[in-house]
């Protein structure tokens, strides 16, 4: 029986603003000095298991981010299942299960969230292997975490009778996030686990259960997957067939109703990395309990989480706060209130501030760009083009562009001309001129682009030809 990982990577991570934005959310970021992003770390936990290429479920806006991050850790032949609109975990997992069923017939599905932390890879993999054996017998398996404190930010699983071994139980019930007094009672009772939201089951068992308990979701997903479109490694379900699909969590849709549910208890450290408070708990600390990341120093300060990405942060006489600095925003928050950061994002969205969704650095399939300076009728960008990559053939109605190569080699097509630019060389693209840019070299191409004109919006890009299907 084939084993297929399904990675849920469709969230927006609003509580990790300002680093996490709608256009570049937390699962594609690295935190606490890590080299790997949360998505990459999740996929690497599968190293050593005999699994098929993963199915990654994500928002369509993030498709090229996913593809690039998979390429960076040498994962090939993955299927990237795109959602135009997020509809919670039940529809997302159902779409992925249908795809897996069609690719491999009946298969075992390992469903992992892309933004969780597990301290013990060995224990996790042993639990996954145990879950795979249970799944063959028609069980739906979830992973529960043995609590080490009265946590009010997680849901709980109440344990039923033990089965198979001392770490595997029937599930007696799911419980929503409790208040502090109730959470303390759960911890003392020893009969409750944190609900991690990660699962193992066969595709046939899961789809049968969805059909029985959440048939409206099941039927919508079947119809949508009957009309898929594909390009490159991307799979798109038909959006029209999903318009009336209920947006429910997998717990609410089926797990709280099914009677073939088992839970495997995991004792190693685990966290849903949904807030700065959660990240602060995992970070290294100095003798004063401070986490200092980037160009940061603190005097007479204790138990702070201070992160600088561009500028120096200096702290004097402050305690128990988190400060997160990015190129265009700074967050200052009491460490006990980091769950409330999403209120800031809601305010920014209501007031139509670009900081809610746009990241200072914008990623494209060919590379990235970031705005260095902007004023009336001009904008300066730093552009990076990956080796072998090419921008679309395009023109602009309202702006001209000056390009100056800083590093690498640029192959420029401007009208009927094709020429090479090396470091410190430049060119000019007049308004209305058809042009493209590519990197024929072996190292990244970096250039400065100075735009000038009456209108400088990104929607003044008329694509005539594109290798990435964006026309």
Give the model's pLDDT for residue 226. 94
Q: Which ranges constitute the DSSP H helices of 83-229? A: 89-104, 121-135, 180-189, 203-213, 215-225
Question: Residue 144 and residue 274: Cα distance in Å, rounded?
Answer: 18
Angle at 116 between CA 306 and CA 40, to 5 degrees: 90
Mean pLDDT to the nearest integer, 70-88: 92
All structural domains of the chain, each given as residue ranges with its CATH number in brackets, are 3-272 (3.90.550.10), 277-346 (no CATH), 361-465 (2.60.120.10)
Q: Helix count (H) and strand count (E) of the chain?
A: 10, 30
Give the model's pLDDT for residue 300. 97
* Whole-prediction pTM: 0.89
DSSP class of 255: I
- Report the chain's mean pLDDT, rounded to a whole number: 94
Tell me the per-residue pLDDT of 354-392, one tens digit each, with 9 for 90 and over.
999 988 888 888 999 998 898 999 999 999 999 999 999
Tell me the per-residue pLDDT of 25-67, one tens digit each, with 9 for 90 and over.
999 999 998 999 999 999 999 999 999 999 999 999 898 889 8
Closest to 429 (Cα-Cα) out of 442, 408, 409, 410: 410
Burial of 465 (0-12, 13-18, 19+ CB in 10 A): exposed
């Amino acid at each position: 029986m084939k084993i297929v990982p399904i990675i849920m990577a469709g969230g927006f991570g609003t509580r990790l603003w300002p680093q996490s934005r709608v256009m570049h959310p937390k699962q594609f970021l690295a935190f606490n000095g890590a080299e790997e992003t949360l998505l990459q770390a999740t996929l690497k936990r599968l190293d050593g298991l005999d699994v098929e290429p993963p199915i990654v479920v994500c928002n369509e806006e993030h498709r090229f981010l996913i593809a690039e991050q998979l390429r960076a850790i040498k994962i090939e032949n993955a299927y990237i299942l795109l959602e135009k609109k997020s509809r919670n975990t039940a529809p997302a997992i159902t779409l992925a299960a249908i795809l897996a069923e069609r690719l491999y017939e009946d298969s075992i599905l390992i469903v992992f969230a892309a933004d969780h932390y597990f301290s013990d890879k060995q224990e996790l993999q042993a639990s996954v292997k145990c879950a795979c054996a249970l799944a063959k017998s028609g069980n739906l398996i979830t992973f529960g975490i043995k609590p080490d404190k009265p946590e009010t930010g997680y849901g709980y699983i109440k344990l039923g009778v033990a089965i198979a071994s001392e770490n595997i139980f029937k599930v007696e019930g799911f419980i929503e996030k409790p208040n502090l007094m109730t959470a303390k009672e759960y911890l003392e009772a020893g009969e409750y686990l944190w609900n991690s939201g990660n699962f193992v089951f066969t595709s046939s068992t899961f789809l049968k259960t969805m059909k029985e308990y959440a048939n409206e979701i099941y039927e919508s997903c079947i119809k949508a997957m009957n009309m898929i479109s594909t390009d490159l490694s991307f799979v798109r379900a038909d959006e029209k067939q999903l318009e009336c699909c209920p947006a429910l969590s997998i717990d609410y849709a089926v797990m709280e109703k099914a009677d073939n549910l088992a839970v495997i208890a995991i004792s190693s450290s685990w966290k849903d990395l949904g807030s700065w408070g959660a990240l602060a708990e995992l970070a290294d600390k100095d003798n004063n309990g401070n986490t200092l990341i980037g160009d940061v120093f603190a005097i007479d300060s204790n138990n702070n989480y201070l992160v600088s990405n561009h500028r120096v942060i200096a702290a004097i006489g402050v305690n128990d706060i988190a400060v997160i600095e990015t190129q265009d925003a700074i967050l200052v928050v009491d460490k006990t209130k980091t769950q409330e950061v999403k209120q800031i994002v809601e305010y920014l969205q209501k007031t139509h501030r670009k900081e809610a969704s746009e990241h200072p650095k914008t990623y494209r399939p060919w590379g990235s760009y970031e705005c260095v300076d902007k004023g009336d009728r001009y904008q300066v960008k730093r552009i990076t083009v990956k080796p072998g990559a090419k921008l679309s053939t395009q023109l602009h109605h309202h702006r001209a562009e000056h390009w100056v190569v800083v590093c690498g080699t640029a192959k420029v097509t401007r009208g009927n001309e094709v020429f090479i630019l090396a470091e410190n060389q430049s060119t000019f693209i007049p308004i209305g001129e058809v042009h493209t840019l590519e990197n024929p070299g072996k190292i990244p191409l970096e250039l400065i682009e100075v735009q000038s004109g009456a209108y400088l919006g990104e929607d003044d890009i008329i694509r005539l030809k594109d290798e990435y299907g964006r026309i």
